[in-house]
Structure 1
Amino acid sequence: MGTSSHFSLRRRTMALGGLAAVIGAPIWAQTRAPVKVRFQCDWRFEAGTTPYVVALKKGYFAEEGLDVTLNVGAGASATVTRMASGNFDMGTGDLNSLAEFAGNNGVVPAKAVMLMYQNTPAAVFSLKKTGIAKPADLRGRTLAAPAGDGARRIFPLFAAANGLNPVTDVNWTAVDPAMRETILSRGQVEVITGYLASGMLSLQRLGVAASDVHVMKYAEYGVALPGNAVIASQNFLNENPQAVAGFLRALTRALKESVADRAAAVAVLKSHEPLIDTRIEALRLDLILDQEIGTPAVRRDGVGDIDIPQFQKGIDSLAKFLAFKSTPDAKSLVDTRFLPPQAQRMVFPA
Structure 2
Amino acid sequence: MRKVLAGLLPAVLLVAACGGGGGGAAGSGGAQEATLTLNWYPYGEHAPFYYGLKQGIFEKHGIKLKIQAGQGSGKTVQATGAGQTDFGWADTSALATAVENGVPVKSIGVYLQTTPASVQFFTEKNISTPADLRGRSVATTAGDALTKTFPAFLKRNGMQESDVSIQNIDPAGKMAAVISGRTDVLLGFASDQGPTIKEKAGKDVSYLRFSEFGLNYFSNGLLAGRSLLQKDPELVKKMVQATQEAWTAAEQDPQAAADAMKGAAEQLPSPTVVLEQFKTTLTLLHTDATKGKAPGVNSADDWKKTIDTFQQTGIIGKAAEPSAYWEESVAPKG
TM-score (norm 1): 0.77
Q: Which amino acid aligns with 1:304?
A: G
Specify the alignment match of 1:188 in structure 2. Answer: 182
Specify the alignment match of 1:21 in structure 2. Answer: none
Asked if residue 73 in structure 1 is aligned to residue 73 in structure 2, the reply is no
Q: How does 1:56-71 map to 2 (within 5 A)?
A: 56-71=53-68
Q: Which amino acid aligns with 1:218?
A: F
Quote the offset at 1:193 in angstroms: 0.9
Q: Distance in 2 between matches of 1:337 and 1:86?
A: 20
Specify the alignment match of 1:230 in structure 2. Answer: 222
Structure 2 counterpart SS, 1:269: coil
Whether the aligned pair in 1 keeps the contact of 2:290 and 2:299 (CA below 8 Å) is: no
Q: Distance in 1 between matches of 2:73 and 2:274?
A: 19
Per-residue CA deviations over 1:281-306 (Å, capped at 9, x if unaligned) read: 222222222x1126665451222222
Per-residue CA deviations over 1:21-45 (Å, capped at 9, x if unaligned) read: xxxxxxx989996444232212322
Q: Distance in 2 between matches of 1:337 and 1:194?
A: 32
Change (3 A) 1:29 1:147: same
Q: Distance in 2 between matches of 1:268 and 1:168?
A: 44
Instruction: Return the structure number with greater helix share.
Output: 1
Q: Distance in 2 between matches of 1:85 and 1:221?
A: 37
Whether the aligned pair in 2 keeps the contact of 1:90 and 1:232 (CA below 8 Å) is: yes
Q: Which amino acid aligns with 1:247?
A: M
Q: Distance in 2 between matches of 1:170 and 1:318?
A: 24
Q: Which has the larger radius of gyration?
A: 1
Asked if residue 281 in structure 1 is aligned to residue 274 in structure 2, the reply is yes
Specify the alignment match of 1:15 in structure 2. Answer: none
Change (3 A) 1:226 1:180: same
Q: How does 1:1-350 map to 2 (within 5 A)?
A: 34-103=31-100, 105=101, 107-147=102-142, 149-166=144-161, 169-177=164-172, 179-210=173-204, 213-273=205-265, 276-289=269-282, 291-293=283-285, 298-322=290-314, 324-342=316-334
Change (3 A) 1:205 1:335: same
Cα RMSD after superposing both structures: 2.9
Q: Distance in 2 between matches of 1:49 and 1:272?
A: 10
Q: Which amino acid aligns with 1:183?
A: A
Q: Distance in 2 between matches of 1:82 and 1:220?
A: 33
Instruction: Give % identity.
Output: 23
Q: Distance in 1 between matches of 2:306 and 2:256?
A: 37
Which has the larger displacement, 68-77 or 164-173?
164-173
Change (3 A) 1:251 1:164: same
Q: Distance in 2 between matches of 1:319 and 1:294?
A: 22
Structure 1 counterpart SS, 2:196: helix
Change (3 A) 1:220 1:337: same
Per-residue CA deviations over 1:142-187 (Å, capped at 9, x if unaligned) read: 422445644333223212212333478542413133x432321121
Q: Distance in 2 between matches of 1:31 and 1:58?
A: 18
| Structure 1 residue runs without a partner (length 5+) | 1-27, 343-350
Specify the alignment match of 1:25 in structure 2. Answer: none
Specify the alignment match of 2:5 in structure 1. Answer: none
Quote the offset at 1:192 in angstroms: 0.8
Change (3 A) 1:164 1:87: farther
Whether the aligned pair in 2 keeps the contact of 1:29 and 1:64 (CA below 8 Å) is: no
Q: Which amino acid aligns with 1:256?
A: T
Change (3 A) 1:263 1:77: same
| Structure 2 residue runs without a partner (length 5+) | 1-24
Change (3 A) 1:190 1:82: farther
